[in-house]
Amino acid sequence: MTQRTTEGRGQRYDSVLDTIGNTPVIRLNRIAPDHVTVYVKFEAFNPAGSVKDRLAVSIIEAAERDGSLKPGQTVVEATSGNTGIGLAMVCAAKGYPLVVTMAESFSVERRRLMRFLGAKVVLTPKELKGFGMYSKAKELAETNGWFLASQFETAANADVHENTTAREILADFDGDRLDYFVTGYGTGGTVTGVARVLRQQRPDTRIILSEPSDAQIVGSGYVNTRNAEHQPTEGHPNFKPHPIQGWTPDFIPHVLQESIDNGYYDELLPVSGPDSIAWSRRLAAEEGIFTGISGGASLAVAMDVAQRAPEGSVLLVMLPDTGERYLSTPLFEGVAEGMTEEEMAISQSTPTAQMAKN
């Protein structure tokens, strides 16, 4: 094996925002079935650690272009975390104050990351679920004259995935087969934007969409009501709390509705929280790729598809973020802080620098 070297990117960047996108596609070498090839698109390589960096910069720059966001105006948005973290990075780089509304049930590290990046985080009661934090953000915008980012409705959401994520996929698989594209949904921007392009440029690629088995809101067939601005006016009756943070608010977003209406996915598969956690852990321990519960969920679905896929099939799985923003969630339950018995035995196998037994 030759020694690894690097040569640099051959360019310098004027802003952290210029480093968003062009995330790597990585082959899985140890956990995929032998008869197929599985790749992951690892969005943790974005500067704030998730796919939502794309959405955040797209929303802000679209609003700057059309004049709906004024210099120095406060931005407000409801988010389970990743969009808020992305917006906090973008607003910090561009000089906009940011207020985020977030249900108290989401992980503590997410709110601390947003505050570290300069945002204000307003918590809403967990029993009001996603619709509660959404309603709070809308109310704050209307009362204070703030700019509502509107990630669930804005055209800037799916557009950025059409113009960046999908184009990257086409380039990375240029001249090669791509049989399956597997993703979950939160706002629906990823699947809608990517599917617009794949349906035209790679029509043979089957698009697999997933949602939590405890919150099958698309699979139910019921579409929540919306107002003239495409904003939800109710929570979805089929929603139940689930551990896959970032997926399925308790309403079907307008951005996702485009995929539903246009048949942008070929199969809709449910996935359980325990399976999502198990595959995230396997991906880290056996491939060295550190993603969160939502990435584990997409991988769990992809592995189910892979088992029944024809020989030689190629699958691409979206991994939305890094696992570090799940430290206080069930993903890390059972991961010891002190030494395990096995680790203590290793320590005691040589005489120096031993810790005392608990």
Name the binding residues for pyridoxal 5'-phosphate. 82, 186-190, 294
Selected catalytic residue, list 107, 150, 294, 298: 294
- Would you call 210 a catalytic residue per the annotation? no
What number of residues does the chain have? 358
Binding-site residues, in ranges, read 82, 186-190, 294
**Cβ–Cβ contacts within 10 Å for residue 212, how many?**
24
Selected catalytic residue, list 52, 129, 136, 138: 52
Residues contacting residue 21 through CB under 8 Å, at least 6 positions apart:
46, 54, 164, 165, 168
Residue 209 near residue 262 (C-beta atoms within 8 A): no
Q: How far out from the chain centre does Cα 15 lie? A: 23
Helices and strands, counts by H and E, the chain: 11, 10
Question: What is the identity of the amino acid at 10?
Answer: G
Residue 275 near residue 295 (C-beta atoms within 8 A): no
Residue carrying the six token digits 């339950």: 333
Distance CA 32, CA 306 (A): 8
Question: What is the identity of the amino acid at 337?
Answer: E
Kindly calculate the radius of gyration of the chain based on its CA atoms and give it in whole angstroms: 21
Residue 296 near residue 276 (C-beta atoms within 8 A): yes
Measure Cα distances from 157 to 98, 149, 186, 240 in Å.
Answer: 18, 10, 11, 25
> Helix (H, G, I), strand (E, B), or coil: what is residue 248?
coil
Distance CA 273, CA 54 (A): 26
First to last CA, the chain: 43
Give bridge partners of residue 75 from the DSSP assignment.
98, 147
Distance CA 24, CA 116 (A): 27
- Would you call 52 a catalytic residue per the annotation? yes
Give bridge partners of residue 269 from the DSSP assignment.
210
Helix axes 82-94, 108-116, angle to 10 degrees: 0
- Give the active site residues: 52, 294
